[in-house]
């Protein structure tokens, strides 16, 4: 450690050095796509303002990427305050840009760029960046290396038209992978064309000698339908609800909330019979993969309109109240919001946080959806039936949970032996097979961080059990209450894990056929009804040994544990190679965890220094669903028999 701490120890990073020191604060570092997107977004801002009609992105054979637009072109004149060419200022200074002023007379009204940071980050993280500007009848060029000017701005001749071309060579040292994901880039460019009718967007790939072109006159609805088809090929229960609404001066006089002329949204919405919510959202053409207040506004607008529709037509059963989640859960949508001064969460702009956007989008969509519902009565009633069905399932689940949880209070199971610590980073819950093993485990555990929950007999096969019926089973009820997490679906928000009481949930069963069966039933339970727990890496499988090997030689007394027969044979072979005679080696087989004394159980399965745990990884959902369906579904008995006849011989089990 440093002995002294002086004023000279404080460093001030100049120019673009903060970006190179901490690139993750300014852009995504998985690959260079986001830093190239900053340039694309600038071109799209020109199109959004009505100044550009064409964007061309080229993937060059030397791993560089160029973005060309026919917008106004970055100004090349000397900046009146900074005294350097304005184009140089844009690429070499953080927080230098033309998008701070949103008032009339500013260079931009609606734009995705906000902070004057984007293209300067692209420059900072490139080994070389070249700029060409055409404006006012002249062509200008300049180049940078590592963020610094290496070729000053020069006029290279006369030219017609106007626009900007930026070519960047991303510096691989700042990214996990230097390769730009082509599918994501294509999706990004296609969305720009969809969201800006009439804009021509092209992608040229010099490596494959292919060129793609997108241009749509309308487009959001057909784009949404193709997006849904790519996801699951599912049919829709209603026609497309599509529209746009932007505020005019006349509308502003009747607006209660603060808003600006031109603000509003365009949307396309479909309702699906099954499957999770599918959505894409944008703010001023900037993709917001984490959603934000504009998505919440669309959610509120759809809900309020449908709720009024149900009440007007008397569709709600007695005692049923809809919630926004009942409506939102089966929505597929594209939302493109236009906000004068948007506020984002972080420089990567993944999530909109502007509070005014919620009311803006809700007001734009509520009345439009109400009119649409009454113009499409049959479709409106189908959507209402879908929402009411979701509400009934929610109510059924809630009633069941209350009954089993004693009026909603999470009363811990009586057979749970809890730990003393409240820190889930170190807490562990062992689900142990049988009371016998549970008794040994309670003596072997670390009381401060390890909790024990014995399970009696075989756990219920929950593959085909509805979430509302789970708590009817005592073992499943006790597991849920002990871990502090309620059953949920894979698409549930991360907040379902807020009540989690243990950082590790360990399945500890015997190393025999019965233990494997119980382990399979528990894995089925967690995969089907507690998927977020698995996805977050909280579920583990303990690997207790099947054999104990004792060495009782004249000058050598040792004890070893073997996980299975292969490990046992390897240990015996090694001992023989070390000169231990066979008569001095005794092998004992454990019939189960309950047969181990507490010291043995602690040493082999519970001590963090000597145990072996496997973290359960979230699998490919389609393949896993097929396998679980074959193994656990009641209707798949014939499939199981066929599988056992063909592959049963390959299963390694101890019988």
The CATH number given to whatever domain includes residue 264 is 3.30.230.10
Is a pLDDT exceeding 80 seen at residue 485? yes
Considering the domain architecture, whether residues 98 and 142 belong to the same structural domain is answered as: yes
Considering the domain architecture, whether residues 63 and 184 belong to the same structural domain is answered as: yes
At residue 13, the pLDDT reads 62
Considering the domain architecture, whether residues 197 and 244 belong to the same structural domain is answered as: no
Range from 36-45, 108-117, 574-583, 593-602 carrying the lowest mean pLDDT: 108-117
Considering the domain architecture, whether residues 178 and 242 belong to the same structural domain is answered as: no
Catalytic: 486?
Answer: no
Q: How much of the chain, in percent, has pLDDT values that exceed 90?
A: 23
State the DSSP code for 109: S
At residue 606, the pLDDT reads 86
Considering the domain architecture, whether residues 123 and 177 belong to the same structural domain is answered as: yes
Query: Residues 6 or more apart from 506 whose CB is under 8 A from it?
Result: 428, 429, 430, 431, 540, 541, 542, 613
Q: Which of 433, 475, 478, 486 is catalytic?
A: 433
**CA nearest 176: which of 29, 63, 65, 23?**
29
Q: Which of 514, 550, 578, 599 is catalytic?
A: 514
| DSSP 3-state of 119 | helix
Helices marked H in 162-248 — which ranges? 182-195, 220-232
Q: Residue 286's beta-bridge partner residues?
A: 283
Catalytic: 433?
Answer: yes
Query: Does 22 reside within a domain?
Result: yes
Neighbours of 167 (CB within 10 A): 20
Catalytic: 514?
Answer: yes
Q: Which of 132, 478, 510, 603 is catalytic?
A: 510
Query: Does 173 reside within a domain?
Result: yes
Query: Residues 6 or more apart from 160 whose CB is under 8 A from it?
Result: 134, 137
Structure tokens at 240: 């497309």
Mean of pLDDT values over 481-488: 89
Considering the domain architecture, whether residues 198 and 230 belong to the same structural domain is answered as: no
Instruction: Give the separation between CA 505 and CA 533, rounded to whole angstroms.
Output: 9
Neighbours of 327 (CB within 10 A): 24
Is a pLDDT exceeding 70 seen at residue 231? no
Mean of pLDDT values over 96-106: 50
At residue 99, the pLDDT reads 46
Q: Backbone phi, then psi, for 366, in 5-degree steps?
A: -60, -55
State the DSSP code for 460: P
Query: Residues 6 or more apart from 306 whose CB is under 8 A from it?
Result: 322, 327, 369, 373, 380, 383, 384, 387
At residue 348, the pLDDT reads 66
Helix (H) or strand (E) segment spanning residue 286: strand 286-287
Average pLDDT over all residues of the chain: 82
Query: Does 292 reside within a domain?
Result: yes
Considering the domain architecture, whether residues 350 and 396 belong to the same structural domain is answered as: yes
Helices marked H in 59-146 — which ranges? 86-92, 118-124
CATH number at residue 174: 3.30.565.10
Considering the domain architecture, whether residues 113 and 224 belong to the same structural domain is answered as: no
Mean of pLDDT values over 327-354: 81
Question: Can you give the residue range of the structural domain that contains 261?
Answer: 220-401
Query: Does 450 reside within a domain?
Result: no
Q: How much of the chain, in percent, has pLDDT values that exceed 70?
A: 86
Instruction: Give the separation between CA 611 and CA 605, rounded to whole angstroms.
Output: 5
Query: Residues 6 or more apart from 610 whose CB is under 8 A from it?
Result: 603, 604
Helices marked H in 116-160 — which ranges? 118-124
Is a pLDDT exceeding 80 seen at residue 109? no
Range from 69-73, 226-230, 248-252, 541-545 carrying the lowest mean pLDDT: 226-230
Q: Which residue is listed with tokens 């028999």?
A: 641
Is a pLDDT exceeding 90 seen at residue 638? no
State the DSSP code for 640: H
> Which of 370, 401, 432 is a domain's end point?
401
Structure tokens at 645: 């006849």
More confident residue, 106 or 583: 583
Instruction: Give the separation between CA 224 and CA 390, rounded to whole angstroms.
Output: 24
Query: Does 577 reside within a domain?
Result: no
Query: Does 494 reside within a domain?
Result: no
Considering the domain architecture, whether residues 287 and 372 belong to the same structural domain is answered as: yes
Domains of the chain: total: 2
What does DSSP say about strands 556-562 and 547-553: parallel, antiparallel, or unpaired? antiparallel
The model's pTM: 0.52
Structure tokens at 452: 């024990």
At residue 67, the pLDDT reads 95
Query: Residues 6 or more apart from 17 whose CB is under 8 A from it?
Result: none
> Which of 401, 419, 453 is a domain's end point?
401
Spatial strand order in the sheet of 241-246:
241-246, 264-271, 331-338, 278-283, 286-287
Structure tokens at 409: 């209070």
More confident residue, 597 or 334: 334
Instruction: Give the separation between CA 570 and CA 586, rounded to whole angstroms.
Output: 15
- Burial class from Cβ neighbours inside 10 Å (0-12, 13-18, 19+) for residue 74 reads buried
- The answer to whether 527 touches 488, Cβ cutoff 8 Å, is no
At residue 234, the pLDDT reads 53
Structure tokens at 593: 């965890």
Catalytic: 367?
Answer: no
Considering the domain architecture, whether residues 120 and 240 belong to the same structural domain is answered as: no
Q: Which residue is listed with tokens 């010291």?
A: 599
> Which of 168, 199, 214 is a domain's end point?
214
Considering the domain architecture, whether residues 374 and 239 belong to the same structural domain is answered as: yes
Q: Which of 512, 567, 629, 654 is catalytic?
A: 512
Q: Backbone phi, then psi, for 557, in 5-degree steps?
A: -125, 115
Query: Does 426 reside within a domain?
Result: no
Instruction: Give the separation between CA 280 and CA 303, rounded to whole angstroms.
Output: 18
Query: Does 614 reside within a domain?
Result: no
Query: Residues 6 or more apart from 332 whose CB is under 8 A from it?
Result: 224, 227, 228, 231, 236, 269, 270, 271, 272, 277, 278, 279
Considering the domain architecture, whether residues 154 and 291 belong to the same structural domain is answered as: no
**CA nearest 338: which of 406, 405, 248, 398?**
248
């Amino acid at each position: 450690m440093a002995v002294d701490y002086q004023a000279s120890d404080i460093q001030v990073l100049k120019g673009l050095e903060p970006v190179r020191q901490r690139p993750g604060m300014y852009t995504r570092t998985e690959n260079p796509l986001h830093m190239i997107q900053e340039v694309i977004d600038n071109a799209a801002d020109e199109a959004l303002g009505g100044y550009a009609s064409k964007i061309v992105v080229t993937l060059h054979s030397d791993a560089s990427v160029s973005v060309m637009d026919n917008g106004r072109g970055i100004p090349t004149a000397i900046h009146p305050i900074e005294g350097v060419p304005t184009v140089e200022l844009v690429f070499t200074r953080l927080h230098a840009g033309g998008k701070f002023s949103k008032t009339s007379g500013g260079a931009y009204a609606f734009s995705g760029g906000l902070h004057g940071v984007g293209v300067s980050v692209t420059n900072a993280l490139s080994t070389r960046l070249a700029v060409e500007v055409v404006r006012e009848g002249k062509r200008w060029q300049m180049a940078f290396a590592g963020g610094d000017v290496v070729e000053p701005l020069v006029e290279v001749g006369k030219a017609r038209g106007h626009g900007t071309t930026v070519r960047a060579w991303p510096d691989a040292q700042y990214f996990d992978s230097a390769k730009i994901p082509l599918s994501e880039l294509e999706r990004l460019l296609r969305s720009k064309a969809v969201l800006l009718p009439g804009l021509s967007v092209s992608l040229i790939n010099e490596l494959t000698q292919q060129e793609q072109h997108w241009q749509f006159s309308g487009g959001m609805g057909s784009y949404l339908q193709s997006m849904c088809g790519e996801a699951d090929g599912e049919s829709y229960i209603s026609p497309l609800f599509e529209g746009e609404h932007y505020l005019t001066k006349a509308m502003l006089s009747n607006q209660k909330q603060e808003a600006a002329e031109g603000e509003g949204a365009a949307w396309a919405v479909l309702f699906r019979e099954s499957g999770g919510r599918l959505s894409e959202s944008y703010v001023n053409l900037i993709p917001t993969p984490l959603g934000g207040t504009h998505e919440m506004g669309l959610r509120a607008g759809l809900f309020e309109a449908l709720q009024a529709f149900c009440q007007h037509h008397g569709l709600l059963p007695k005692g049923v109240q809809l919630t926004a989640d009942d409506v939102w859960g089966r929505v597929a949508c594209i939302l493109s919001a236009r906000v004068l001064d948007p506020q984002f969460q972080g420089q990567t702009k993944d999530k909109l946080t502007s509070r005014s956007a919620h009311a803006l989008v809700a007001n734009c969509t509520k009345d439009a959806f109400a009119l649409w519902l009454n113009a499409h009565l049959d479709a409106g009633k189908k959507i209402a039936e879908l929402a009411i069905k979701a509400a009934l399932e929610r109510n059924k689940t809630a009633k069941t949970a209350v009954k089993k949880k004693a009026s909603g209070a999470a009363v811990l199971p009586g057979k749970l032996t809890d730990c003393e610590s409240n820190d889930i980073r170190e807490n562990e819950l062992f689900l142990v097979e049988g009371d016998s093993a549970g008794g040994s485990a309670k003596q072997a555990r670390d009381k401060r961080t390890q909790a024990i929950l014995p399970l009696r007999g075989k756990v219920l096969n929950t593959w085909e059990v509805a979430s509302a019926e789970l708590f009817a089973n005592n073992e499943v009820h006790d597991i849920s209450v002990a871990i502090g997490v309620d059953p949920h679906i894979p698409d549930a928000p991360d907040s379902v894990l807020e009540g989690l009481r243990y950082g590790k949930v360990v399945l500890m069963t015997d190393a025999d056929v019965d233990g494997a069966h119980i382990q399979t039933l528990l894995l089925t339970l967690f995969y089907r009804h507690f998927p977020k727990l698995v996805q977050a890496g909280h579920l583990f499988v303990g690997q207790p040994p099947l054999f104990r090997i004792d060495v009782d030689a004249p000058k050598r007394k040792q004890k070893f544990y073997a996980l299975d027969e292969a490990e046992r044979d390897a240990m015996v072979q090694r001992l023989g190679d070390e000169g231990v005679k066979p008569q001095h080696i005794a092998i004992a087989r454990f019939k189960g965890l309950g047969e181990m004394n507490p010291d043995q159980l602690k040493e082999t399965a519970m001590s963090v220094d000597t145990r072996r745990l496997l973290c359960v990884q979230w699998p490919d959902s389609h393949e896993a669903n097929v396998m679980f369906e074959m193994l656990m579904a009641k209707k798949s008995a014939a499939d199981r028999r066929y599988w056992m006849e063909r592959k049963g011989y390959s299963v390694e089990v101890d019988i």
